[in-house]
Chain A
Amino acid sequence: MFKNNDDIKRCKRCILSENFPRIKFDSNGVCNFCNNELLHITEDEDIDKSRDEVINLLNKNKGQAEYDAIVCYSGGKDSTYTLKLAVEKYKLKVLSFTLDNGFISPVAFSNIEKVVSELGIDQITYRPSYKFMKGLFRISSLDNIYNPKTLTRISANCNSCISIVNNMALKMAMEKNIPFILAGFTLGQIPSSTIFYQNNYEFLAESRKPILDKFKAELGSDVSKHLEISQELIKKSKGYPYNINLLCLEDITEDEIVEQILPLGWVKPKDVDGCSTNCRINSFNNYVHIKKFGYSPYELELSHLIRKNLLTRDEALKKLFDQPQEQIDFVKAELRIDDSMLEKY
């Protein structure tokens, strides 16, 4: 059994813990990630290059369809700021798209309503049945459905939820010939090599097939509805849209983001954990991840922010440990899961 987060050995500079894959500490207690022995990419250089390419792409493709971009909008601070950037900085005509996964904070929904009204943009909310979402989260929590090497930055439940967001946004973009899908990921959550990329559904779907087959075996045909795109639409579509993470191109702290979105009426929900500003299942997802792997799925992201001087180590630790037990217990009851069912990988 892994140690509790409180007494775990962590890097003295960032917050990566002793259970993180490939981690080693030097004699000063600093990890090999901070010592730049593992990180492959010179990010500043990549970001500058990506910024130029993204601006060229946007300028070349906007104004050709009903909407320039679908923004995947969770109601959290990062996607709220992404929406603001898309409308005000990049002057895009956007369609805001929210997945209601059944665990979104009511305050986050209120934020969505206020922000889209304030920015004057269209909004679509997609809500699979609560029964389906609970089933998806239960399987993702219990069945070790993803390979552990692919879960260093994300919990299994977040991965499943974001897969629906990505799939439904792609489906809508292809139906409406919208050239861009924007999401609010930050560097640390994603590698800098994926700041922008063109979708390729067929090849990526092939790689996801074993996972979808496992879901289908337990959840039935609804899996296709929420997580697949028909061959008919692929044939009919004029091409695949680009996914862009605009927030990765900004050099901005969390406090500055909040300062920017408060005038839109955004309010920080109180019923979420320190790592989320919209979702009430997140603390449970982190709890499961720590039980299975011994480290939080947020360690890499928060450590990245520390190294970029966008967050202090103390602030990061505060976020990491702010995991309300009542939220975890609430989700355990909803999904009918107890600790004895959570196997270590």
Chain B
Amino acid sequence: MNTEVLTKEGIQVDLLDFLCRQFYVDIEDIALDRSLVDTGIIDSMGLIEIASYIKKRYAYTVTNEEMNRDNFGSVIKIVDFISRIKEG
């Protein structure tokens, strides 16, 4: 597991960098508290790509049960989710 990024702020910076590079959007396009799907940044395949990013970056395989709006409903929620799995 990569232990370089430890704070929520660091997790968020890293996630936003991934989103901008992977989906060709500017950071200003991303509303932190809104669904990335609802705001048109990603489609359903984008969710798979984010799960794959979490697996690669944090060595954690997201389960089917964890793929829900509570965990993936916004950048803030994804950051909280990553933070929880890192603590766990």
Contacts and interface: CB of A to CB of B under 8 A. Distances in A.
A41 B52 CA distance: 11
Interface in A91-108: none
Interface string A10-50: 00000000000110000000000000001111000010000
Nearest to B35: A207
B36 to A, nearest CB: 9
Q: Is the interface of B mostly helix, strand, loop or mixed?
A: helix
A127 interface: no
B43 A146 contact: yes
B3 interface: no
Q: Give the one of A46, A150, A207 with max B CB within 10 A.
A: A207
Give the interface size class of chain A: 20 to 34
Contacts of B46: 150
Interface in A46-82: 46
Given A40-B21, A194-B52, A150 B67 contact: no
A22 B18 CA distance: 14
B25 A149 contact: yes
Contacts of A205: 44
A231 B26 CA distance: 38
Contacts of B45: 190, 194
B49 A193 contact: yes
A221 B29 CA distance: 35
A206 B37 CA distance: 10
Contacts of A40: 17-18, 21-22
